[in-house]
Structure 1
Amino acid sequence: MKMLSAFGAGLLGLVVTTALPSLPAAAQSSIPTKTVFGSDPCPRDTICIRAPENERYRIPEELRGESGEAAAARWGDRAKSLEYVGASGAMSCSPVGSGGASGCYRELARKAREEREARGDKAGIEF
């Protein structure tokens, strides 16, 4: 009999603990909301958020644009930097494959040439 009552108490405890997490979800009610633009009608039984008509086809503010240096960079410069992402093997400045050192030298020479041109020097070897 003691074993049966212990089993019943354990089963009751299991039922109570599994029922507790669902109580807050049941207490919350779902209120339908919708964003309407301009003079569009608001459906019944719905809470509507009114926005101006000129916002109808705009990208949401949280997704609109980049700020800072990324937005100021020219797309050509960004494309040039993406050119080297994932590069491996010959002429890639990568420890993988033969010829990786050649790619590192080529990159070093290119950067030196760009710095020299920025200073106004025209002497040097073109690669």
Structure 2
Amino acid sequence: MITMMLVAAAAAAFPVQDAPQDAGADATRIRSVLLYGDESCPPATSPDEIVVCTRAGESPYRIPERFREQPSERPANTSWVRRVEMIEEVNRAGLPNSCSPIGTGGQTGCTQEQIRQWAQERLEAEARQSRVP
């Protein structure tokens, strides 16, 4: 601990020297400006200044257009694979490993169903999170 303090004190004692500037290089200043709405690009204040203007959208406080309308989670937006899985799940009632109070062996699949449900909910939550800006 004492060694670290001595090293830090020694490093602070030496002044930091600036890197020498190239004598032949032009000293130019580049200014980047974001424009919103009907704003115009400001002029350069000196001949050594370059102003780069970029249109950023309608307003700095507005949600970008790609995030405004989220895809709905209606059945029309459900993939065919998920639709088939739901149909198979409904038709499994009463079969072994189906977690159903009816039929023989229906109670044996409750843990498997809970795990499948948890995994599906996790995938859906991750999909919702990926759409959030």
Taking structure 2 as the reference length, what is the TM-score of the superposition?
A: 0.32
Report which of the two has the higher share of strand: 2
Normalised to the residue count of structure 1, the TM-score between the two structures is 0.33
More helix by share: 1
